[in-house]
Every structure is written in C-alpha cells, then in structure tokens.
Structure 1
Amino acid sequence: MANYRTGRINEEMKKEISNIIRDDIKDPRVTAMVSVTKVDVTRDQKYARVYVSIYGKNKSKESTFDALKNSEGFIRREIGHRIKLRNTPEIIIELDNTIEYGMHIDEILHKIKENEKNDDE
C-alpha cells in the first residue's frame, strides 16, 4: 500500500512541478524547453529528486539549469501550497540525459545499418 501511495505522490509532484516551471517561474534565464521526466520522493517524504530534460543549445541549457537550481525553494513553497502533505519535501533538481543518450544510440545504430547496406552493394 505504501508503494501505491508513493507512486501517486510522485506523479502528482511531477504534474505540479511541470506546471510551476511552465507557468510560474519568471526567471529570464529559463529560455530552453524544460520537461520533468521523473520525480522520486523518499519514503519519509523529506526529499524529492526531480529529473528534468532541457532541450536547447548548450549555453541556454546551462543557464536554464542554473535558474532551475536557484528556484528550488520557490518550487518547494508552491508545492506546499498546492499539494497537501504532512511534510513538504526538499526539492533536488537533477539533469536527466536519457533522451539525448537514446538519440545518440539511435544515431550509432543508423550508421551501422548504413555501413552494412553499403557493404552489401
């Protein structure tokens, strides 16, 4: 039963944090598109790891990530207002590169496929 509740909390936090980043953060450094890919709340609900994917150029990625790291307290306060929990977890934002990694693997497989096609001809 606890796993079910943790999963619901994770999904609700993910939804609300996405809304906060999209609608409420007014930092001009947030120029790239940000997607919250996963939220892991600890069992005692003291900490929440928020994994974000940032789409954009390297410079805008870095400035957007810095802006998100600086607004962790703001996001925590907003979560406290929007979701009724006994303890509002401390937000820890981390960069998630799984989408970029998947695209890199796909590119490698595509090159291998083209090389095999050229060898057959």
Structure 2
Amino acid sequence: MPKFRRTDRINEQLKQEISLLIRDQVRDPRVGLATITAVQTSPELDHAKVYITALGDEAEREEILVGLRSAAPFIRRELGKSLQMRRIPELHFEIDRVLAEAMRIEQLLREALPYDASASTEAGDDADGAVEKPAEEQPAAGDQAEGEGQE
C-alpha cells in the first residue's frame, strides 16, 4: 500500500506547487482566478490531470482553461526546478465538474424539499424530524421528584 501513499503525497505536493506558480508566476491574463482543486497522477507518474475551478460562466472557464493549457510547459519547467522528482509529469488541465454537479443535486433537493418541509411542519416536527415535548412536561435541571434524595 505504500505506493498509494506516495502517489497521494505527490498529488498534494503538485497541487500546492502548481497553485503557487499560477498565483505568483503565470502572467497570462486569461488565467485569472483559477483554483486547483485536485491533482491526479498516473501510476507511472508521467501524466497528471490537474482539476481546476474558477468563477464566471462556462465561456470564462473555458478561456481560463485555454490559458492554463498554454502555460503548462512553463509550469512543468518551473516544477522541475522546485521539486526533487526524476520526471515531472505532463500536465493536463481540466475543469472540475464535481462542484457543479453537487450544486445541481442540491438545487434539485431544494426544489423537492418545500413539499417535504411543509408536510413535516404541519405535523409539529422540528427541522431534525424529532417531536419536541411541551415545556411543562420537561423537568427543570434542578428539580427532583418527591422523595428522591431525602432520607
């Protein structure tokens, strides 16, 4: 299992180094505010998929992707200077669609939720689905039942 740990370490190190390079050294105006969300290297460490996310619409994200792909040779060369690796993987930039899918699913759940929330509110349930006891049924913290603790 050490191979997986090594790959995970390399992925994390590449993610950090590429993020720094994009922030500090890439001067392409198309890149803008790209955020590296993950790096996934091949088992042979010769290729690395670099997943990014960025603000803006689809056209703006594609423009950022084009800028990063054109900066890939520069980024790879700089990684070679800063990392102690025999071979720096080829970088393949891709838009991370996980966040967009999660937001889409959340929106679908929100659309379905108003029906469910109104049904549970009518039944007297709270947000967790647990029914609260009326205040008079709940004993106060310092109250003791008659006969308890008296000898």
Asked whether the two chains share a fold, i.e. TM above 0.5, the reply is yes
Residue 76 of structure 1 corresponds to which residue in structure 2?
76
Q: Secondary structure at the match of 1:73?
A: helix
Q: 1:18-41, CA deviations, whole angstroms, 9 ceiling, x for partnerless residues? A: 11111111111123x312111111
Gaps of 5+ in 1: none
- Give the aligned partner of residue 62 of structure 1: 62
Q: Which amino acid aligns with 2:25?
A: D
Higher relative contact order (CA 8 A, sep 6+): 1
- The structure richer in strand per residue is 1
* Percent of matched pairs sharing the same residue: 33
What is the match of residue 133 of structure 2?
none
Determine the C-alpha separation between the residues in 2 that align with 1:103 and 1:35: 17
Instruction: Return the letter of the residue paired with 1:98.
Output: V
CA deviation vs aligned residue, 1:57-100 (integer Å, no higher than 9, x gap) = 23321211110111111111111111110111111111111111
83-92 or 58-67, which moves further after superposition?
A: 58-67
Compare the two structures and name the one with the higher helix fraction. Answer: 1
- Structure 2 CA distance for partners of 1:47 and 1:116, relative to 1, 3 Å: same
Runs (4+) of structure 1 exceeding 3 A deviation are 115-121
